[in-house]
Amino acid sequence: MSWNARMQDTMTTGMTDVELPRGGDFASEIAKLETQFDIIRYMRRITHIFGFKTFLICSIPPIDMERLSAATVISNMPAELLNKYDSLSMLRFSTGVRRLRETTTPFQITLEDWESEGGTPDSAADYIVMLRENGIFQANYFPVHDAEGGRGAVILMGPEADLPMTAAMELQMIAIHVYNRLAEIGSVWKSSSTTLSEREIQCLSWTAAGKTSAEIAGILGLSEHTVNHYLNHVTKKLDAVNRTQAVVKAMKKGYIS
């Protein structure tokens, strides 16, 4: 299916006209985002509108870095995919990251292209299967930088498709504004090595709203045990003594409002 056809399907299955990007409107909307969780929700919407499956925003990993998760700022990429990627040390074989170090121009890489390249380890076969199962056949890379010159990328992944030039240009501008907004609301990845997952941020946000684990489980469609796991894990990540302190620290770092 062409990108335009998928875009039309998206528009006819619930997206209203006001939700679609319009010229420079996105700049003012992004400027109003106050927390990383706000940006996650915004990026989820943009990802869906443009027909992708998932997104990842990261700083460009240095050559000696071994884990993509260490460079990730925010993402809604399935945790099992990112964990598998890191467990196989796939960062060493990343064509995308290599090109990000060499160019500031947007580009795309298909799964087929990546498979056909030399140097991909045999152990990548299982990971490639997981990508296909998650509907990821192509990654579109949008290089960005912040006001201090720190380089990063907004990566959108999904079906294989040729992105029209107008859409690519709009996404590049969105990527620039989003990355700089992330820097403005906390620069968390510069001041701390802590990276919270989308689920962890959701659980903290509802905890801040006064919800119990059981109530959060009902809201998010998870088991109470899973919610407690997320909250206990994020409490340790933030070096907090309890959930209340974790919420306070998360607010100070700009994860939640």
Q: Which domains does the chain have, with CATH numbers?
A: 26-186 (3.30.450.80), 198-253 (1.10.10.10)
When pLDDT is cut at 50, 70 and 90, the band that residue 1 belongs to is very low
Residue 53 pLDDT grade (very low, low, confident, very high; cuts 50, 70, 90): very high
Average pLDDT for residues 26-48, to the nearest whole number? 89
Contact 209, 221 (CB under 8 A): no
Percent of the chain with pLDDT over 70: 85
What does DSSP assign to residue 206? H
Query: Which of 194, 211, 175 lies closest to 254 in space, CA to CA?
Result: 194
- Quote the pLDDT of residue 174: 95
pLDDT of residue 189: 42
User: Looking at residue 121, what is its pLDDT?
Assistant: 67
- Write the DSSP assignment of 115-174 as a string of letters: HHSTT--TTHHHHHHHHHHTT--EEEEEEEE-TT--EEEEEEEES--PPPHHHHHHHHHH
Q: What is the pLDDT of residue 250?
A: 84
Alpha carbon distance 156, 144 (integer Å): 13
User: Distance between CA 168 and CA 15 in Å, rounded?
Assistant: 20
User: What share of the chain in percent tops pLDDT 90?
Assistant: 32
Band the pLDDT of 168: cuts 50, 70, 90: very high
0.85 exceeded by the pTM?
A: no
Residue scoring higher pLDDT (147 or 102): 102
Listed range (65-74, 117-126, 168-177) with the worst mean pLDDT: 117-126
